[in-house]
């Protein structure tokens, strides 16, 4: 019968190496039977091996529970980026909504202009279509502005600028705040201004 304790100064050293190697190759459940089934090992070595088994089990479960902290740290690092991305999508949606409203307003204003409406009526028609936007941030330009020069066959241009304010923090590093949303429509006069 081979006495492992006779070859090493520390009786548990060799067994701890055997246990560690078995644990690395077979996982945490593989090293316990290997150490406990060695009948040729003296009792002192078995006790040391059992101590190492308990130590390894404790280290394994401690590491397993520590993964929850790792997930929490990863979440803390990723969630600001995800929130910024989500807020950027919302801000883009607001820009798109404003742009669609401004394009629609210029088209309605140009359509009112070509049928002979006055500047006040055109402005009123544009503002009516842009009722969902902040009226203080809207600028309407009608070209030509002189109503008498708008005769049948000439072009009329309605240009609208709306200043969209940002709601997303740090977005002003990429785009100006407020961001101008603008559109224009050009149509040919069908009849002169009739007042």
What is the per-residue pLDDT across 1-32, written as a single tens digit (0 to 9) for each? 444 444 444 444 444 444 444 444 444 444 44
Q: How deeply is 160 buried, as exposed, middle or buried, from its count of CB atoms within 10 A (0-12, 13-18, 19+)? A: buried
Over residues 156-192, the pLDDT tens digits come to 999 999 999 998 877 888 888 889 999 999 999 888 8
Q: From CA 9, how far away is CA 19, in angstroms rounded?
A: 18
Tokens of 23: 């644990």
Helix/strand/coil for 130:
coil
Residue identified by tokens 């479960």 is 61
Q: From CA 104, how far away is CA 95, in angstroms rounded?
A: 14
For the whole prediction, is pTM greater than 0.85?
no
Domain layout of the chain by residue ranges:
94-188
Tokens of 77: 């690092």
Element (H, E) at 170: none
142 contacts 156 by C-beta, under 8 angstroms: yes
User: Which residue has better confidence, 69 or 64?
Assistant: 69
Residues paired with residue 160 on neighbouring β-strands, in sequence order: 140, 183
Beta strand residue intervals within the chain, DSSP E: 138-143, 155-164, 179-188
């Amino acid at each position: 019968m081979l006495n492992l304790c006779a070859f090493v100064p520390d009786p548990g050293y060799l067994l701890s190496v055997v246990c560690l190697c078995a644990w690395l190759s077979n996982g945490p459940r593989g090293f316990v039977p290997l150490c406990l089934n060695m009948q040729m090992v003296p009792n002192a070595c078995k006790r040391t091996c059992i101590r190492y088994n308990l130590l390894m089990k404790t280290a394994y479960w401690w590491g397993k529970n520590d993964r929850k902290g790792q997930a929490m740290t990863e979440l803390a690092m990723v969630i600001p980026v995800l929130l910024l991305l989500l807020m950027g999508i919302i801000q883009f949606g607001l820009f798109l909504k404003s742009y669609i409203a401004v394009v629609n307003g210029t088209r309605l204003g140009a359509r009112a202009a070509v049928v002979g409406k006055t500047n006040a009526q055109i402005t009123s028609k544009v503002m009516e279509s842009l009722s969902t936007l902040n009226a203080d941030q809207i600028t309407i330009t009608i070209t030509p502005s002189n109503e008498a020069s708008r005769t049948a066959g000439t072009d009329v241009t309605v240009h609208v600028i709306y200043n969209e304010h940002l709601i997303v923090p740090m977005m002003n590093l990429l785009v100006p705040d407020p961001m101008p949303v603008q559109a224009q429509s050009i149509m040919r006069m069908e009849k002169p201004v009739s007042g």
